[in-house]
A = this chain, B = another copy of it.
Amino acid sequence: MFARLCENGAVPRRINPEQRDRAVVEAAWRVLTRDGLTALSVRNVAAEAHLPPSSLRYTFPTQASVRERAVDTLVDRLRQRVAAIPEPPGGPRWAHAALLELLPLDDERRVEMEVTLALGAAAMTDPDLRSSFNSVNAVVREVCTSAAAALGSEGKVAVDHLHALIDGLAFHLVRRTHGESTEWALKVLDAYLPGGARFVAGWSDAPDESR
C-alpha cells in the first residue's frame, strides 16, 4: 500500500519529512534573527537544527532553497493566523483583529517581522527570492484591502494609506527593544481607523510623555 505512495516501491524513512522541513526552517529563522543575513549559511542552519550539513543538503540542495522555503513559510504562517481569527469576516471586529495580526506585538509575530525584513532586504538583489517575497507583500495587501472594506474605507488611496501605515508601524515596532511598550502603535491605529472597537481601552487624546 505504501508502494502506491512512493513510486518505486519504497517507503519514507525516519520521521515525517514535513516536520523535518519545518524544523529546518525554524532553525533558519533563529539563525536569521540572532546572527543576521550574512550568517544564514548551510552549515549554520544545519548546526542550529542539530543536523550534519550534508544531511540538510539532501532535502535542501542549495542554500537558495533554504531562503525560499523560509519565505514561503512566512506566507503560510501569516495566512494561517489570519484564517484563525474567530470573528466573522467582513465585520469591523474582524478587521481590527486582522490588522493586529500584521503587527509584531508578541514574540511570534516579532520574529516573523524580523525575518521578513532580513529576507526582504535580500530579495532586493535576488530575483528568485524576490518573486517569492512578493507573496508576503501580497498577503499583507490583501488583508489591508479586506480590512479597509470592512471598516467602510473605500478607494485605492485609502487602502494604500492603510497598507503603508501598517507596514510603517510594523517597521518601527520591530526596531524597538524587546520589552518596550507597543501601546503607541495601537493609539495611532485607534486614532486613524473609523469608528468601531478600540484597541486601547479608556484612552483619551491627552498628551503623554512615554518615549
Contacts and interface: CB of A to CB of B under 8 A. Distances in A.
Interface of A: 33-39, 114, 117-118, 120-122, 124-126, 137, 155-158, 160-161, 163-169, 171-172, 174-175, 184-185, 187-188, 191-192, 205, 207-208, 210-211
B124 A118 contact: yes
Given A164-B169, A164-B171, A168-B165, A205 B124 contact: no
A156 B208 contact: yes
Given A163-B168, A164-B168, A125 B33 contact: yes
A122 B37 contact: yes
Given A36-B122, A121-B36, A161 B156 contact: no
22 contacts: A33-B124, A35-B125, A36-B121, A36-B126, A37-B37, A37-B122, A114-B124, A117-B124, A120-B121, A120-B175, A121-B121, A124-B175, A137-B175, A156-B211, A157-B184, A160-B184, A160-B187, A163-B172, A164-B168, A166-B168, A168-B171, A171-B171
The secondary structure that dominates the A interface is helix
Given A38-B37, A117-B121, A157-B191, A167 B163 contact: no
Contact of A160 (B163, B188, B207): B188
